[in-house]
Amino acid sequence: MSVVNTGCMQKQTQKSDAQLLFARNMKRIRLDKKLTQEKVAEAAGLHPNYISSVERGERNISIGNIERISHALGVSMTDLLAEPEKPRKPRGATP
């Protein structure tokens, strides 16, 4: 992630790995549960545009909003931050 200094404030110009991981997990879980962004937003008490921007990895989301979204999706906060499991090779498989 790079940062641009614009006077007294700094602006993030790239998405962090953590933001992108959260975004991928959130979208995958939401789609697995057949929920719309609007339904998640309503259940979390957040605006649908915010949910959309989080799923695109554009938000540096607060711990409070991670909790709200996890409750709306019916999963733990760690589920939203977990690295995906890599598929295992069958025994005896050659590389």
**Residues near 51 by Cβ (< 8 Å), separated by ≥ 6?**
37, 40, 41, 44, 69
**What pLDDT was estimated at residue 78?**
97
d(CA 87, CA 65): 31
Tell me the pLDDT tens digit for each residue of 2-17. 454 555 555 555 889 9
Does the pLDDT value for residue 63 go beyond 90? yes
CA R_g for the chain: 16
Model confidence over 2-56: pLDDT tens digits? 454 555 555 555 889 999 999 999 999 999 999 999 999 999 999 999 999 999 9
Q: How far is CA 57 from CA 7, 10, 88, in A?
A: 25, 18, 28
Ordered structural domains, the chain, with CATH: 13-81 (1.10.260.40)
pTM across the whole model: 0.76
